[in-house]
Amino acid sequence: MEKSIEKIWKEGFTNDTSFSIPEINDISSLKSIYFIDQFKKTYKTNIVLLIGTAVIILLAFILGDVPFIGLMMFGLFSGLAILGYRELSKLQKLNPGTTNYEFLKAFDNWLKNLLHKFSIVYRILIPLLFIGFALAILQTNFFIPFLDETLLERMVGDSAPAMIAGIPVSWIASILVIAATLSYFSTRFFKMEIRSIYGELIDKLDRSLAELEELRSA
């Protein structure tokens, strides 16, 4: 053979008169568009699930006779869904007409920015969700139907501890300490959730970018 496969491959990127690989580039671009479309579908599904969860929680807490806490939880989940939808609108604006590398790099930057924002939100969201559920469990027996009284009434009994809004101060302090601990570890929880939902897609993105960067440097 007059030329090695390696030489033909390298010249295909720089010399228009030699063997070129537009078909491969086209296939790679189509794979990238398909990959991002798959991510969008999963992302949209999660937004819908957030909205559904918000409605279910609101109804459950209203039935549990703690509508204020239900509204708070509904607001938290709805806010998370709204933030997710706004970020999705930014993703829709990415231009697939650019080079495959630029398209994937733009998506990678969008994804990293998204994860950064949500990691901050989780520091607030997780402790607030815990506080909401803790107060609901204490003040209603809806979630513990086998009790004839609320958990708060059962545990306080005839004692008269110092209280705030009908809840012992020591319990409030414990709830806040646990909430602060959850906030501290929220980033770890968030990363675990992201890996469970998008782990495979993120790994594919990293591999694709690594391959394209290797080709660009060849």
**Is residue 17 predicted with pLDDT exceeding 80?**
no
Place of tokens 């609108």: 89
How far apart, in whole angstroms, are the C-alpha atoms of residue 49 and residue 42? 11
- What's the CA dihedral at 110, 115, 118, 123 to 10 degrees? -150
Q: Do the bridges between strand 163-164 and strand 167-168 make them parallel or antiparallel, or are there none, so unpaired?
A: antiparallel
Q: Using 50, 70 and 90 to split pLDDT, how confident is the model at 145?
A: low
**Is residue 26 predicted with pLDDT exceeding 70?**
no
**Is residue 104 predicted with pLDDT exceeding 50?**
yes
Q: Using 50, 70 and 90 to split pLDDT, how confident is the model at 21?
A: very low
**Is residue 7 predicted with pLDDT exceeding 60?**
no
Weakest-pLDDT range from 27-41, 92-106, 113-127, 199-213: 27-41
Beta bridge partners of 168: 163
- Both tokens of 18, joined, read 């030699």
Neighbours of 201 (CB within 10 A): 16
**What mean pLDDT is reported for the chain?**
78
Q: What is the pLDDT of residue 213?
A: 81
Question: For 194-205, what is the mean pLDDT?
Answer: 83
How far apart, in whole angstroms, are the C-alpha atoms of residue 84 and residue 86? 5
**Is residue 162 predicted with pLDDT exceeding 80?**
no
Q: What is the pLDDT of residue 179?
A: 93
